[in-house]
Amino acid sequence: MSLQMGLGMAIMNDPVNGLSVAILGRIFLLLCTLLFLALEGHLLVIDILVQSFVVWPVGSGLSVFSLDSLVSLFGWMFASALALALPAIVSMLLANISFGVMNRAAPSLNVYALGFPMTMLLGLFSILITVSGIPSRYTALVHETLSYLNLFMVGGA
């Protein structure tokens, strides 16, 4: 999203990991981490970890059903991440396409001078809408994840 908004150069250096991370990615990471802690997800993960030793004793292995459901859960994970980011990405794509059409239709207009602030404002507005909808969607995804974990533990027994 940050590249399409024109914030491609707004990168934060992480000296601990030796990586450069987009600033919007860091903001979303902090928001989702705080939501996870606010929903007491860390306690639920520890509880599920303790329950997994009861359901799957050490050395019992995994069944074919549990491996199939694990593969389908990876697909669900990518689909839910895409569902969170897709509205902002599509709106920015449509804005960039419209500015490209406008540049092709009227080449004498300086679309770059008009397009950069407009894409920045549209991107910030779409991020505002996305961030305002994340808590409810994130809560639903966490509950769905916990139900999948319970189903996975029961199916593996």
**Predicted TM-score of the model (pTM):** 0.64
Calculate mean pLDDT across residues 79-92.
Answer: 83
Q: Mean of the per-residue pLDDT values for the chain?
A: 79
Contacts of 16 by beta carbon, 8 Å cutoff, 6+ apart? none
- pLDDT tier at 157 (50, 70, 90 boundaries)? very low
The pLDDT tens digits for 39-85 are 887 888 888 788 778 777 777 766 666 677 778 888 888 888 888 77
